[in-house]
Amino acid sequence: MRTISMEQEINPWESQAARFDLAAQKLNLDEGLWKILRYPAREIIVHIPVQMDDGRIEVFTGFRVQHSIARGPSKGGIRYAPDVTLDEVRALASWMTWKCAVVNIPFGGAKGGVICDPKKLSMGEIERITRRYTAELVEFIGPEKDIPAPDVGTNEQTMAWIMDTYSMHTRQTCTAVVTGKPVTMGGSRGRREATGRGVMIIANESLKKLGMNIEDTRVIVQGFGNVGSNAAKLMHDTGYKIIGVGEWNGGLFNAKGIDIEKLLEHQQRNGTIVGFAGAEARATADLLTSDCELLIPAATENQITSQNAERIKAKVLIEGANGPTTAAADDILADKKVFVVPDILANAGGVTASYFEWVQDRQGYFWKESVVNEQLEHIMVSSFEDVVRYAETHNVNNRIAAYMLAIDRVQFTIRQRGIYA
Ligand code: NAD
């Protein structure tokens, strides 16, 4: 194993590239295709002036990276966070290409981000940042070009503003330009819960594969936002015992299981999970290494690294977040025989339901929630089976299998389309 610094280990772009290189090498990928797929096709940087509530003008930096449009328009979320970097957005854009290919939906990959701290901004300031960011990108996004969605720090309201701004520029209401919109304006039923639901479907399939029972499975979830809270709620309702929930400002533990419905009410009332009476306080970092069968990191990147991977006790790791495990930690988890379901499969329920939303917007016909959930289950289960079979056939772990499957699908299409000169 090559020695790398901690700084390199936690650079998401390096993490992505390390897995890409390994999978490409195992696939014996043609050198030219390797060069095409290793880097994003387009990287846009914008510096956006915004008038703040106190009258000052502030300039924010935003990114949109389009990694590939080989299999269809590019697709990927927009993140608002103070620590967004171009390398992070690049990695997330590449992961979107692989993710869409793993679940075999007709999209390439993209991602966007704005360096800002939504916790410290008013609604009006966030709206103005969003509208100006959208206006700067207006010729680069669109239903047939690049379709944004929510990610960390953005939500349905953000998507509504992007849809409206884009529509004002194109002089017609265009719902299919973003997904993850409110249901009242072209959003899909079931989209809000889809990533968490996908995580649960993958958990169910993993248990079946490993001969484990739902009732005997103790689960720890890190991150209680869109992905983590929906996964925890759906899994709790299905009979899993959620014994730990961790947030950035503190975690909770109850060996008998946490009542997730009550925890959601507490969070709604107090704006935090901290102080919940139905569990004892436990540091989030300690939760990651606490005894459990199933660990679901659903917060942010670089949570499982060479520093703590050795102490992970879970038998199954399902990556709700993007990039929660570093490449160096992969090797340690493999030695410990942890069954890892990688992000590009485990959290693909979100983009799959986004695909359904885009289809419904273009059809102008909206499906019942049961139809969305049934189609989602079908895609998640068959993709899980594809990846696990690929891993067994090629004698690689699930992550490298998912990358190999995805890279092979994308390179095949590039060959078919040919190189435009
Ligand atoms: P979110 O902002 O709704 O939730 C993230 C939660 O994690 C927040 O509650 C935040 O307080 C918490 N958090 C942040 N840092 C933390 C830390 N160090 N320890 C513990 N908790 C921490 O975002 P989300 O949409 O749920 O996304 C979470 C992850 O899932 C991200 O990696 C995102 O890229 C990925 N993801 C999201 C979707 C989606 O549909 N929303 C789809 C695929 C992947």
For residue 368, the model assigns a pLDDT of 98
**Is residue 136's pLDDT more than 80?**
yes
> What's the N-to-C CA distance of the chain in angstroms?
40
In this predicted model, what pLDDT tens digit does every residue of 90-128 receive, in sequence order?
999 999 999 999 999 999 999 999 999 999 999 999 999
∠ Cα 340 343 349 (to 5°): 115
Our mutation pick for probing the ligand 1 site, out of 78, 94, 158, 226, counting the most ligand atoms within 8 A of Cβ, is: 226
The domain 192-341 is classified under which CATH number: 3.90.1150.10, 3.30.70.2750, 3.50.30.40, 3.40.50.720? Answer: 3.40.50.720
Give residue 226 CA to ligand 1 midpoint distance, Å. 7
For residue 268, the model assigns a pLDDT of 98
Known binding positions for NAD(+): 195, 226
Give residue 151 CA to ligand 1 midpoint distance, Å. 7
CATH of region 28-181:
3.40.50.10860
Known binding positions for substrate: 75, 99, 354
Residue with the nearest Cα to atom 28 of ligand 1?
Answer: 299
Q: What is the mean pLDDT of residues 68-85?
A: 98
In this predicted model, what pLDDT tens digit does every residue of 193-244 receive, in sequence order?
999 999 999 999 999 999 999 999 999 999 999 999 999 999 999 999 999 9
**Is residue 37's pLDDT more than 60?**
yes
Angle, in degrees to the nearest 10, between helices 349-363 and 369-394:
130
Q: How far is the C-alpha of 279 from the C-alpha of 257, rounded, in Å?
A: 8
Q: What is the mean pLDDT of residues 265-270?
A: 98
Sheet with 339-341, side-by-side order of all strands: 280-282, 250-253, 241-247, 218-222, 294-297, 316-318, 339-341
Locate CATH 3.40.50.10860 in the chain: 28-181
For residue 231, the model assigns a pLDDT of 98
Closest-CA residue to 290 (of 347, 221, 345, 204)? 221
Locate CATH 3.40.50.720 in the chain: 192-341
Backbone φ, ψ for residue 361 (5° rounding): -60, -40
- Where would I find the H helices in 103-225? 123-136, 156-170, 191-210
Atom index in ligand 1 nearest the CA of residue 343 equals: 44
111 has catalytic annotation: yes
**197: its two tokens:** 């639901």
In this predicted model, what pLDDT tens digit does every residue of 373-411 receive, in sequence order?
999 999 999 999 999 999 999 999 999 999 999 999 999
Residue with the nearest Cα to atom 19 of ligand 1?
Answer: 248
What is the rounded average pLDDT for all residues in the chain? 97
Residue with the nearest Cα to atom 9 of ligand 1?
Answer: 225
**Is residue 2's pLDDT more than 70?**
no
Our mutation pick for probing the ligand 1 site, out of 195, 270, 343, counting the most ligand atoms within 8 A of Cβ, is: 195
Instruction: Provide the β-strand partners of residue 399.
Output: none
Residues flanking ligand 1, CB < 6 Å: 150-153, 195, 222-228, 246-248, 284, 298-300, 320-322, 347, 350
Residue with the nearest Cα to atom 42 of ligand 1?
Answer: 350
Q: How far is the C-alpha of 142 from the C-alpha of 117, rounded, in Å?
A: 26
Give residue 294 CA to ligand 1 midpoint distance, Å. 18
**Is residue 308's pLDDT more than 60?**
yes
For residue 4, the model assigns a pLDDT of 81
Per DSSP, the three-state class of 174 is coil
